[in-house]
């Protein structure tokens, strides 16, 4: 029987946690992390499991989209993170209607069009279940966010590694905030309120 293993947090997530521990890391007073160099997912698309069409990784006008790389067999990191996002949306009330979620599976062989949408529906009613059509499509998306992942099988054991960050993207594809693994729902909600209010101005 195959054994699933997950390496808990990538180097990027560890660096983000360290930065967050030192206090606000952006001029906007956000509790998340903003990379020194700009990240953008503009013109980056991944196949949407529901429509079969290419979905561009950017939010609708006036909204935000939380982008996450993970997989449905993940025993801890992914469900913990997605529950935090779910609870953060509850905390911001009506503003939650302006927050989208896009999960890009790093394990497309098992996370099929029948599996991934059902998984995400348990966390939110507004989502995009994205399944890369090939390895290049996944790598292009990961490169835009400085994310990493791998799926290997050694001696009958499947080992999946992936970055633990959530990326908050605006309508231009700009990454305006990053949440390392372990960011609590209250902090996520705090950031979402600030970022959404900025888009009302």
**CB under 8 Å to 136, separation ≥6 — which residues?**
none
pLDDT reported for residue 157: 86
Average pLDDT per consecutive 10 residues, the chain (201 residues; last block may be shorter): 39 37 55 91 96 97 97 96 98 97 97 98 96 97 97 89 96 97 97 95 64
What's this model's pTM, rounded to 2 decimal places?
0.86
CB of 179 closer than 8 Å to CB of 163: no
Specify the DSSP element, H or E, that contains 159: strand 157-162
pLDDT reported for residue 36: 86
pLDDT reported for residue 34: 87
Domains and CATH numbers, the chain: 4-198 (3.40.30.10)
């Amino acid at each position: 029987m195959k054994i699933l293993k997950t390496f808990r947090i990538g180097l990027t997530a560890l660096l983000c946690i360290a930065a967050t521990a030192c206090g606000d890391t952006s001029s906007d007073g956000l509790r998340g992390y903003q990379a020194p160099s700009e990240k953008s997912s503009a013109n980056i698309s991944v196949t949407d499991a529901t429509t079969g069409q290419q979905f561009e990784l950017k939010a609708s006008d006036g909204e935000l989209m939380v982008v996450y790389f993970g997989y449905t067999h993940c025993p801890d990191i992914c469900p913990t993170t997605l529950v935090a996002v779910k609870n953060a949306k509850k905390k911001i009330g009506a503003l939650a209607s302006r927050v989208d979620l896009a999960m890009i599976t790093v394990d497309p062989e098992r996370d099929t069009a029948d599996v991934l949408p059902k998984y995400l529906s348990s966390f939110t009613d507004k989502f995009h279940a994205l399944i890369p059509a090939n390895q290049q499509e996944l790598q292009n998306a990961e490169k835009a966010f400085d994310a990493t992942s791998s799926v290997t099988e050694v001696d009958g054991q499947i080992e999946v590694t992936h970055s633990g960050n959530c990326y908050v993207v605006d309508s231009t594809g700009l990454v305006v905030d990053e949440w390392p693994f372990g960011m609590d729902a209250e902090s996520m909600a705090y950031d979402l309120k600030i970022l959404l209010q900025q888009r009302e101005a």
